[in-house]
A and B are shown apart, each in its own frame.
Chain A
Amino acid sequence: MTSQVPHPTRPPLRRILAVEDEADLRAVLDLCLREVGQFEVLICSSGEEALAQAQAFAPDLFLLDVMMPGLDGPGTLQRLRAQGCGAPAFFLTAKVQAGDVAELTAVGAAAVVPKPFDPMGLPDELRARWAAL
């Protein structure tokens, strides 16, 4: 439950599809988003997996790691959009400088969340950024 007043046209954030290639970070994302954040969560290990699952899961938000082997975060988002998945996307990346944020925004990021992320603080950070959209 969040105490934030939802945007008039934007329902509260509930369903998140996250893509992260590293197994240990998937485990911590699962713990923090599901247990701490109380979100409904689908965590995929690759962009390809996200493309296969996105329509059925129908997330409110995509949370995409930027640097992944194979299909990276921006590439995944581009293909999600081509599939007709229009949910906002936040990128997760350890490379956050002003120029990087501009670059990621240009490819469609609604927000850029810096890594390393604090597992206990991530749900609130996502809700705050969601509320600010």
Chain B
Amino acid sequence: MSVDLQARLQALREAFLKELPARLAALRRAWEGLEGNRQGDLLFEAHRLAGAAGTFGQPMLSEAARDLEELLRASDAPDAAAVEAALAEVESTALRITLPVPEVSPGGDLAP
């Protein structure tokens, strides 16, 4: 792959990460159900995120979104606490990948 293509793909990956907060907000909004079909809207957003995240190099986020999607698909009345936990997992996974990697200090090892 040419350097130019790699750079353009990288730019698209970064754009995806920049848009993540808006996607997470859409998940939350759907779950809060202000616009009606709470489960259907959340399923739709989770499905989109599962599809997009993998393409943009975030397989763990894709998996977390897929778990949420499957939970919603499995029942017409999924357990609210389970949905909340799966949604929280998506959010924390997203947070982990968007936070800068912490620096490991050479002196930071645990004492024996």
Residues on A facing B (Cβ under 8 Å):
22, 24-25, 27-28, 31, 35-36, 67, 69, 92-95, 115-120
Contact = CB atoms under 8 A, between A and B. Distances in A.
Given A36-B1, A94-B47, A116 B53 contact: yes
B50 A24 contact: no
B40 to A, nearest CB: 11
27 contacts: A22-B48, A22-B52, A24-B15, A25-B52, A27-B12, A28-B9, A31-B5, A31-B12, A36-B5, A67-B44, A67-B47, A69-B44, A92-B51, A94-B47, A94-B51, A94-B69, A95-B47, A95-B69, A115-B51, A115-B54, A116-B50, A116-B51, A116-B59, A117-B54, A118-B55, A119-B9, A119-B55
Nearest to B54: A116
A31 B48 contact: no
Task: Categorize the interface residue count of chain B.
Answer: 20 to 34
B66 A94 contact: yes
A49 to B, nearest CB: 18
A67 B55 contact: no
A95 B1 CA distance: 29
Interface string B61-80: 01000100100000000000
A115 B47 CA distance: 10
Contacts of A35: 5, 8
B12 A116 contact: no
